[in-house]
Structure 1
């Protein structure tokens, strides 16, 4: 049997197992529910299917499941009898999962030799979006542009290239690409999520409200079990919030997106929580106590404050609660780390949020004015985060006047 995207043979004599594996890969790339179940079905047919075991390890590790290491051990054992390209795929995928920073060069070399392996390409670009630094926009776009020509009409590639093009500044191209992907795979949360980002980049909350509302009405039953469902709801809540539908936005956020409710991974949950709470605090100036779930989420990331993305969202949560003491503790924790460009940027962000929370608006505006455009890209995440920093700066300037 042949892998549909790479065009290479797979080491299994069970065609049904291959069908289940390829279905699972589509569901992974689409952030759709049922990927793990499809892989389990493939493995029930062929327990030594190396690529299925590797993908199952990835999902188990992502969900912090107890059997993640067992799937890894089984994949490595099965890989001994697999084809060389399958072993290379597993090595690249596991390298990204275990230590992406150390394995960046090796992963890029693997992709150059295997430009149709969209599963590894998507994992690499997902990492770079958060941790790729100031040059990540061009880097991710270049990686997506370098894929094998056979993928040029592949919905999963189109959605990712559209996202990357919009992030890099070409929203019109990004939108056209994502619309092509949506026509091919209308049920995929990843595709509609990419579309939501493009509309946010274009400053079109009204269109986002209409698009996401219609999509959720049509695909809710198949989407709500997936890890991306809460984040799609968050984009709709953000559009509502931008349009002044504040109570509606809050109800949606609390029902689908808050740490108590979402099935998103921890980093995305932190971004959705911190981003929403900080936006509302900037608009109203009203603080509100945080829930036990938000407190637990914050504690989970306290050791990662030296990363600007984490620092921005944790500080947003702390400011929204009026917790000046927590902001001071965050500043102290960052200061205690070994100085670097990253820790200095984290400290500047927390400083600015802390100054704003203290009512020192002119100082906050001045602190933020010292963060360059490249540094704002280096914070990590998407244009959503860069716009959040812009909102903080604009509001500080307004209140300082």
Structure 2
């Protein structure tokens, strides 16, 4: 009898153990739970000619930002699948190879074509989805809608209680603004598979976007201790908890969470998460009018200095600009902006001119040139989605614009943004800011 994956797709292996370890390993991979690497290695050991086990291992190395290992494993998979794989397996490995070898646009096109033929091949279907997926980092302005469309196109192929599909379908709808549906789907996904990091992450996001901070804090506090600190998103999920404390102006708690889980010395996450989480947390704290303790920005800058030195990865570019601006390294920001502007002119930066603009604005804001920061940000604020990541991660840009408007005397514009935000969700911080705008004597955005 042929071996199958969890979705009844044939596997080119002669070993029952290799197939079982592969199925388990893929579940761990797609739930981001520790143990995926070891389980996939057991699959490889049981059948050293099983191409998809190497491919899944390569995918995990790529997620863990281990590019040399990822390329080595995908090369093995390509060789093996050419000799003994099915059409589906060859296409599967080809898509992963494109992504691992830096051809993201081609990988996205190939992934979409592949999933049209084999919609239940979830390793490939997962690739365009997520905050750091191929859609998010494509530079598209409508990638949130694109994720919804992809999920809905293939929803008929999945059981109603498929924990994996519920996770990503719920994430897609939540990020695209349907918070009620997003919440229902992601919470059901977490209920079905509690040790599913992507579901816990998605629930944290949809609760944040709903303004349900008490529930979000309760979920994170109850769930995070079960997730080993070596997990790639441990620090990031704790970051959500720190943001909730910051929202309430509880800086002692926010800093305690940051120091225990998020700071470079504490987090074992990937560089993109550590750089973005540390810089955006400290930037928010400072922008909200709270003093950042001595040495914290310097620690973040020291860590960031080893990564993302070359401009052209918009999500990282913006966060690197925050670090440089906050630590007074105006030259670094200007150099990054110059390279990004050249890439825009050459048509080589799909996210477009919003990227150098938000980097320039961060420097203006750090230099207390608030009117200039607002002038730069206002025309591009709606395009920030093109840098990728999640709505919660990108919101730091709108926060910067809002505070810049308040501090430059543009109370009317600030009031309009706050009204729009408060219409979308409750926020103690935004309510405090609105009160400040109503008081002619209060120092704006400074408490």
TM-score (norm 2): 0.83
Shift of 1:158: 0.6
Distance 1:233 1:87 in 2: 39
2:267 aligned with 1:258: no
1:111 matched residue in structure 2 = 115
Shift of 1:16: 1.7
Note the aligned Cα RMSD (angstroms): 2.2
2:214 matched residue in structure 1 = 206
Shift of 1:5: 3.8
2:422 matched residue in structure 1 = none
2:279 matched residue in structure 1 = 274
TM-score (norm 1): 0.92
1:313 to 319, 336, 343: 319
1:140 to 132, 137, 147: 147
- Which stretch shifts more, 364-373 or 335-344? 335-344
2:21 aligned with 1:20: yes
SS class of match (1:123): coil
Shift of 1:310: 2.4
Shift of 1:267: 1.9
Distance 1:100 1:308 in 2: 14
- Which stretch shifts more, 145-154 or 88-97? 145-154
Using CA pairs under 8 Å that are at least 6 residues apart, name the structure with larger relative contact order, 1 or 2.
Answer: 1
Shift of 1:338: 5.0
TM alignment of 1:2-401, pairs within 5 A: 2-63=3-64, 64=66, 66-79=68-81, 80-98=83-101, 99-125=103-129, 126-147=133-154, 149-152=156-159, 153-217=161-225, 219-220=226-227, 223-284=228-289, 286=291, 288-289=294-295, 290-291=297-298, 294-304=301-311, 306-339=312-345, 340=347, 342-373=351-382, 375-401=383-409
The question of whether the paired residues in 2 share the 8 Å contact of 1:327 and 1:354 is answered with yes
Structure 2 gap ranges (5+): 410-447
Q: Structure 1 residues 338 and 214 mapped into 2: Cα distance closer, same or farther (>3 Å)?
A: closer
User: Aligned pair count?
Assistant: 396
Shift of 1:263: 2.5
SS class of match (1:124): coil
Shift of 1:389: 1.2
Distance 1:103 1:351 in 2: 31
Shift of 1:392: 0.5
Q: Structure 1 residues 372 and 227 mapped into 2: Cα distance closer, same or farther (>3 Å)?
A: closer
The question of whether the paired residues in 2 share the 8 Å contact of 1:134 and 1:378 is answered with yes
Distance 1:61 1:394 in 2: 37
SS class of match (1:302): coil
